[in-house]
Structure 1
Amino acid sequence: MEYILLAIVGFAFLFYSLSIRQLARTEITGPMFFVLVGLALSYFWPQEITPLENNMSQLLPLIELTLSIFLFTDAAKSKLTVLKHSFQYPSLLLFVALPLTLLFGVVGAIFLFSELSLLQAALVAIILTPTDAALSKGLLADTHVPEKIREGINTESGLNDGLCVPLFLVMLLLAQNPENSLTTIDTLFIFLRELGIASVVAVLAITVFIPTLKVAVAKHYFAKNSSPFLLIGFVMMTFSITQYLHGSGFIAVFVSGLLFDYFAPTKMKSTLIKDSEHIAEFVALLIWCLFGFVCGYLVLQEISWQIFVYALLSVTLFRMLPVMLSLQFSQLKIKERLTFAWFGPRGLASIVFTLMILETDIAAKYQIATIAMTTILLSVFLHGMSTKPIANSYTER
């Protein structure tokens, strides 16, 4: 049966690759397509022969590594030198809208799910706060959309993952110790230790990697056909070493990406990042297929009206109101502010956070996972189907 499953997934990739232009015209994005494939497989695949939890545990390292690659490439594309001159919109989104989104998410979870504790409600909110610009590729690639919007959305998506990871790790530590076996000082020490180890590994790794890269380029040591493996190998090494040393691998690769953006040679930087993203995107689409498969068991069977209402609020008001408030006094037109507010799709970071929750012994972990997955599922289709019409509205203008 496993080989039949793999054959179906392989056929899905073949069909998607052959008809990607036609799918784009019908406003079906890659994540939408593979989520639908996963949902279909969960319907026809007998649940009793699928040890779902064990499989998720085995696949978590691969999913974490995929997120690490995107964290690195997003940070490496953040264009810190450009942000020195046009930092207004990303700064407002990151330091004003993001905390308000988190606050709205916590309040909404407490109101709709009275059985959740404050920390559990905070975990729900922080899981669903990061955004994924990969789900809005049609908008980001359309040159008719103002560059300040495209750059702002892309930069926010790249940087908010890095800001949310440490918050998530702290809340996860506290939620796993509801009887306060960890004091505030203990929690702060663990967090600072993880942050410190991650920062040291990132700095040392980049300090060695960039000079080595320059020497390899100057002496023609590597070929173009191996260039996609350079950054992926670097991210794998950095993430794994940091995790082994009990630091946060996610923070390490994010800091590495920021340093790589600032210090790497400009000519080769974009090519290396683009090549690495092609490989990472293949794995990401596999993860979306797996996500749809899991949703067929967890979400569709356990969904309630409270969960659906929270998911709908999370992808709309909880995101849109903070962004509209934060951009209120900017020089953006109302349509541009609404575009910023709407495009906050939930993606790979939220999936990884959810799977990390399932790996713990938190009492309400299945309810938290169901709420998060319902929101991600809704976001995939709402944001995916609205990307092209909104991009076209700028084209028509």
Structure 2
Amino acid sequence: MILLVSWAPVGLKRLPLTLAILCLALGVLVFSTGLLGFDPDPRTWDTVTERLTELVVIIALMGAGLKLDRPIGWRRWASTWRLLAIAMPLTIAATAWLGVAGLGFSLAMALLFGAAMAPTDPVLAADVQVGPPRSGDEDEVRFGLTSEAGLNDGLAFPFVHLAVLAAAGALTSTTALTEWLAVSIVWKLLAGAGVGFVVGRVFAFLLFHNARAGGARFGDGLVALAATLIAYTAAELAHGYGFLAVFICALTIRAGERDHDFHQEMHDFSDQIERLLMMLLLVLFGGALANGLLSALTWTDALIGLAVVFVVRPLAGLIALLGARQPMRERLLLAFLGIRGVGSVYYIAWGLNHGDFGDSERLWAVVGFIILVSIVVHGVTAAPLLERLARRRGSFPAASAPANPPGSIDGD
């Protein structure tokens, strides 16, 4: 796996494959032989699945925040706000409805299904995200997908909590719903964002204040992992959303000294750790597929899964981007390239570990199928589509210029 992480990206440049697809296939191949003496089924290893996916997601969120060159602002991040405020709730509602009407799920399981399928994955979406810090590879599509993936993992959590409430039969309780609104939405979001900002400011001061004063640089790329774990832990202790805290922390560190070379070093370290853990998860996911994760899948389940990938998310994205200034080709890509992956596995594992949803065989089968389709379809199509967009942008530079380019001062 380490050799794959190091060498495969170079060899795969001319092939319609990604490292994720290669590791998935490796997992299927290795575990199909029976040479390994355990079954990496997330239904068996539920707690391990939750913790391992939790770790790789927060590391990916730190890397995503560090690589964003564009300062946060209302207009500069317009496509992000649209995708979060419109596309994500529409995706949750439509997917939950499909869960009830098409799959026969209970309301609780359908809500969990919808919440897990809503976020664009910050781990598997690396191929469609912006380039490293200050690389200049930050067109509107890549920026929108990166910033959306950074924020919607935290914003999907309230709906997972709502699913757990439904599993407990508490949706009819005014007290429970009021507490959900006050705690799961208001407090946890504010606590996560606030803790992330404070931890980010502290790290930015420690990292860059001494350097500005002419002193030695404080730390190396390993600092990124420390910041990730401290921000996440502090947010969890404050009963906030740790995913949100990590991403806000990364944005705050980046804003502390936006053009410093140290951001590249921290990003590179996070990226290496993230890729290694991602490959491990994908090999294990391939092993779960080889050992019957999809055995409960029916033709109806498969059709619903395809609808989530090819209908629900694209339509929700297009509705969210109605009236946006981006050309239609960019809006289509923003809507289509909503990759589902590790974050979805985490939310399913977390929900099932914290609520009584009953038999989850079909839920895992449908979710596994959707992730498999997303890895293959988005993995094969993303690079050619984005390259074609870049060529068109080169021919028509004015057509796709953002309304407020990175660094502008009137975008707030």
**TM-score, normalised via structure 1 length:** 0.83
CA contact (8 A) 2:118 2:156 kept: yes
Unaligned runs of 5+ in 1: 1-11
1:346 to 336, 340, 347: 340
Q: Secondary structure at the match of 1:131?
A: coil
Post-superposition offset of 1:28 = 1.2
1:220 to 216, 220, 235: 216
Distance in structure 2 (CA, Å) of the matches to 1:61 and 1:323: 30
CA 1:234 to 1:337, structure 2 compared with 1: closer, same or farther past 3 Å?
Answer: closer
Structure with a larger share of its residues in helix: 1
CA contact (8 A) 1:149 1:340 kept: yes
Moved more, 147-156 or 83-92: 83-92
The reply on whether 1:387 has 2:376 as its aligned counterpart is: no
Partner of 1:36: 25
Partner of 1:148: 140
Q: Note the alpha carbon deviations across 1:273-294, whole angstroms, 9 max, x for none.
A: 2332222221122112222222
CA 1:77 to 1:162, structure 2 compared with 1: closer, same or farther past 3 Å?
Answer: farther
Summarize the alignment of residues 1-397 of structure 1 with structure 2, pairs less than 5 Å apart.
12-15=1-4, 17-45=6-34, 49-50=38-39, 52=41, 55-58=45-48, 60-79=50-69, 81=71, 83-114=73-104, 116-132=105-121, 135=124, 137-140=126-129, 147-168=139-160, 170-178=161-169, 183-191=176-184, 192=186, 194-195=188-189, 197-215=191-209, 217=211, 218-220=214-216, 222=218, 227-244=220-237, 246-267=239-260, 268-360=262-354, 361-394=356-389, 397=392
Q: Note the alpha carbon deviations across 1:320-349, whole angstroms, 9 max, x for none.
A: 112222333334433333222211111221
Post-superposition offset of 1:129 = 0.9
Post-superposition offset of 1:73 = 3.0
CA 1:141 to 1:92, structure 2 compared with 1: closer, same or farther past 3 Å?
Answer: closer
CA 1:173 to 1:230, structure 2 compared with 1: closer, same or farther past 3 Å?
Answer: same
Distance in structure 2 (CA, Å) of the matches to 1:59 and 1:134: 15
Instruction: Letter of the 1:119 partner, please give it.
Output: A
Number of matched residues? 381
CA 1:45 to 1:240, structure 2 compared with 1: closer, same or farther past 3 Å?
Answer: farther
Distance in structure 2 (CA, Å) of the matches to 1:234 and 1:33: 31
Distance in structure 1 (CA, Å) of the matches to 2:4 and 2:10: 11
Post-superposition offset of 1:58 = 3.2
Distance in structure 1 (CA, Å) of the matches to 2:315 and 2:238: 40
Q: Note the alpha carbon deviations across 1:273-321, whole angstroms, 9 max, x for none.
A: 2332222221122112222222333433221112211110111100111
Moved more, 238-247 or 204-213: 238-247
CA 1:264 to 1:331, structure 2 compared with 1: closer, same or farther past 3 Å?
Answer: closer
| Identical pairs, percent | 22
